Chains A and B, each alone.
Chain A
Amino acid sequence: MSTLQVSVYRYNPETDSAPYMQEFQVDTKGRDLMVLDVLHLTKEQDSSMAYRRSCREGVCGSDGMNMNGKNGLACITPLSEVVKNNKLVLRPLPGLPVIRDLVVDMGIFYKQYERIQPYLQNDTPAPAIERLQSPEERDKLDGLYECILCACCSTACPSFWWNPDKFVGPAGLLQSYRFLADSRDEATQARLADLEDPFSVFRCRGIMNCVSVCPKGLNPTRAIGKIREMLLANAT
């Protein structure tokens, strides 16, 4: 049996008054394809299908979507990992406005990323060569800088669903900690001051959906815990 039942969320703002699910029969020829390959096959059946994709190897973060109820990257998710009872249901990332089909408006997600000032701040004049950093100091950035901004985590987070305008969300906070943890960054006080309100960090309830969906195996909850520790150490 190599015909897979694929059900895809469809919505075209120009023609549809409401979203609907479209059914496809996809012949996988028995191969354990990636979900993205399956999407290509459905697009061959219906060229009006819209989804984002770029690197097809899990590093660009374009094709985050909800596959059989769980967020992930279509390009590195093999069918064997998600398909149950020969059925695959594809929906856009939850909690963000849908532009069309599987394409969501990521504006508010990017805005929260920009809010944490995601760039190194260091006003000390730079040396003629690189700034030195010990391997131990550099190790602190592992598990943080690898984020690909796919939004799988933030759109799996109920706190982000309810307050996407105020709660930075796991992706933004992971990057916030990436700079707080960088021995070369000098803006620690300003960064912390911007985070100590009741929403930005503290709306995290620690349910760890972010950790369970991150396609890069990163742990935003741990980073959020570290930010809390820094805030506490700073204020007591």
Chain B
Amino acid sequence: MSNMRSLSFDAIIIGGGGSGLRAALELAKSGKKTAVLSKVFPTRSHTVSAQGGITCAIASADPNDDWRWHMYDTVKGGDYIADQDAAEYMCSEGPKAVFELEHMGLPFSRFDNGRIYQRPFGGQSKNFGEGGQAARTCAAADRTGHALLHTLYQNNLKNNTTFLNEWYAVDLVKNANGDVVGCIALDIETGEVVHVKSKATVLATGGAGRIYASTTNALINTGDGIGMALRAGFPMQDMEMWQFHPTGIYGAGTLVTEGCRGEGGYLVNKDGERFMERYAPNAKDLAGRDVVARSMVMEILEGRGCGEKGDHVFLKLDHLGEEVLGKRLPGIVELSKTFAHADPAKEPIPVVPTCHYMMGGIPTNVHGQAIMQDADGNDQIVNGLFACGEAACVSVHGANRLGGNSLLDLVVFGRAAGMFIEGALNEGIDYLDASESDVDAAMKRMSRWNESSGGESVPELKAELQDIMQNAFGVFRQEDNMQEGVKKLADLRERIANASMGDKSNAFNTARVEALELDNLMEVAEATAISALERKESRGAHSRYDYPDRDDVNWLKHSLYFPADKTLGKRDVNFTPKTVDTFEPKVRTY
């Protein structure tokens, strides 16, 4: 592989979604030689699908709003394994990041006084849970992610960011010291494989919802960054924590924003009963997503589901009237008509909890630096490797993310990573170059697929993987099911190692990309499965029939999955925010 072309950058950002573009913007402004490497044109990234908004205490809907209240909600929402220093950073820096977006041109909806429109979202409170429902989610109608992503892309154009669009990162390149010094990437259009050298490599590759058969995630959400980091031997944090969004459209899986319930919509069972009143008497339909999703599954399991099979519930919006729907939820009206054949102004939307968000990921500090553990269990920075956005686990979401917090996570920590890398580059970064054998090691997987023949096909194996995850690692989990799932995944890993790629041509070969993605799905699925099996409690999105209670004695911890021996360790949760008192774990009710 010595004839491989190489490119050199100060920083390479893998992923062109919200967090990647925000990091890139920071670096482009600083004049560092930066490139965004994205497998799709940046505005096709999954951030574009975010609907309801970006949660942040900008004190628009309520002039007395306080970021500390937001921080409290975030920590409580995460069932107390969110790192409190990180949640503090996100909630206090948030307003700055949101105002920056507005100054960049993001077309937020507005209140009559000209300030940014904010709507209520699940899990939001005033005065540390004592002051009732807050309205803290800044919105651009129900297309906030689209508006945000386009605004960030536009401002990257303004600042002349270099883009390697439709390039696919295959694997990280590590030098002899184990520092990350770049990656191997595939130019999808030509099929050329390039060695991208970089002093800082940022994984902003988003989530991996495609490990499940039913997900709100885009087809591209295959956990590429997670897969790369795991293959490079780095640990993953809290991978058992997968959020199931209460309102995915039944059958299609497409997302219906929580903003629908924020605007006054609610869920009903087959008897027309607003059942969330029973499960969360105060917050009702605006309880945490994990709580609502579980309640829906309970309704369905207890025979009160809607439809012929009784396997979904209804989201009722018609009482809001066409004007509110048209102004605040126009995208939902469109999606519902297209995918549910239901006009929400006239009839309810059939919905079901659907895999939505990966709370876990690459453990990082607030600067986006990736973290691993040394032999004594102490945190250790991974030189050269950064992560932000859904791929990272800072962790601000803990065991369950609040609605609207992911967009805030993207911009706050994308920005933070960019700023930190700029500083580090100014101080000088000098890692050993990768040797030829280091590069060859990163090329191994690509070469395997290129030479494959006679094995099973990629789409079939992918479907099988998704079914295993859907059946054994869904909203409710239990030991025997999961054990069987882990076993099936181990078997599947063998079969994937022998699978073959049907098309080996170079120009825009999407079969090659899908084969490489399958490896990443496999890595994410196995990390999820083993983490879920080992965390013997119920917390946030991780609910077990066999361990129905939260166990703060043993599990007020992050889980840490080590790929080398496929074991699960633990990592301390941060309980020492800098400027506020610690939020002590309490029983979580809504």
> Does A touch B (CB under 8 Å) in the complex?
yes
Using a CB–CB cutoff of 8 Å, the interface residues on chain A facing chain B are 12-15, 43-44, 47-62, 76, 78, 99-101, 103, 106, 110, 114, 117-120, 122, 126, 128-135, 137-138, 141-142, 145-146, 148-149, 179, 182, 184-185
Whole-angstrom CA separation of A48 from B458 in the bound complex: 12
Of B108, B255, B339, B459, the contact of A130 (CB 8 Å cutoff): B108
B334: chain A residues within 8 A (beta carbon): 58
On whether the beta carbons of A133 and B110 are closer than 8 Å, the reply is yes
Within 241-256 of B, Cβ neighbours of A (below 8 Å) are at 252, 254-255
Whole-angstrom CA separation of A15 from B507 in the bound complex: 10
On whether the beta carbons of A52 and B107 are closer than 8 Å, the reply is no
A126: chain B residues within 8 A (beta carbon): 99, 103
A17 to chain B, nearest CB (A): 14
On whether the beta carbons of B110 and A134 are closer than 8 Å, the reply is yes
A105 to chain B, nearest CB (A): 8
On whether the beta carbons of A60 and B43 are closer than 8 Å, the reply is yes
B220: chain A residues within 8 A (beta carbon): 54
B147 contacts chain A at the CB level, 8 A cutoff:
yes
Interface 0/1 of B212-238, CB less than 8 Å to A: 000000111000000000000000000
A44: chain B residues within 8 A (beta carbon): 459
A116 to chain B, nearest CB (A): 11
A144 nearest in chain B by CB position: B107
Q: List 6 A-B contacts (CB under 8 A).
A: A47-B501, A48-B511, A51-B510, A60-B46, A101-B508, A130-B116
B442: chain A residues within 8 A (beta carbon): none
Of B102, B112, B155, B501, the contact of A131 (CB 8 Å cutoff): B102
B58 contacts chain A at the CB level, 8 A cutoff:
yes
On whether the beta carbons of B503 and A62 are closer than 8 Å, the reply is no
A60: chain B residues within 8 A (beta carbon): 40, 43-46, 48-49, 218
On whether the beta carbons of B339 and A57 are closer than 8 Å, the reply is yes
Q: Report the interface size for chain B: residues with CB under 8 A from the other chain.
A: 61
On whether the beta carbons of B338 and A100 are closer than 8 Å, the reply is no
B331: chain A residues within 8 A (beta carbon): 59
Whole-angstrom CA separation of A119 from B458 in the bound complex: 41
On whether the beta carbons of B338 and A76 are closer than 8 Å, the reply is yes
Whole-angstrom CA separation of A60 from B189 in the bound complex: 19
On whether the beta carbons of A54 and B46 are closer than 8 Å, the reply is yes
On whether the beta carbons of B104 and A120 are closer than 8 Å, the reply is yes
Asked if A47 meets B457 with Cβ closer than 8 Å, knowing A12-B507, A129-B58, the reply is yes
Whole-angstrom CA separation of A120 from B100 in the bound complex: 12
On whether the beta carbons of A119 and B48 are closer than 8 Å, the reply is no
Whole-angstrom CA separation of A100 from B40 in the bound complex: 16
On whether the beta carbons of B114 and A145 are closer than 8 Å, the reply is no
On whether the beta carbons of A100 and B508 are closer than 8 Å, the reply is yes
Asked if A54 meets B219 with Cβ closer than 8 Å, knowing A15-B505, A130-B108, the reply is yes
Whole-angstrom CA separation of A155 from B239 in the bound complex: 43
Q: A48-B505, A55-B44, A149-B41 are known contacts; what are 12 more A-B pairs with Cβ within 8 Å?
A: A15-B505, A47-B502, A49-B510, A53-B219, A57-B335, A60-B218, A62-B41, A106-B41, A130-B102, A133-B110, A134-B114, A145-B150
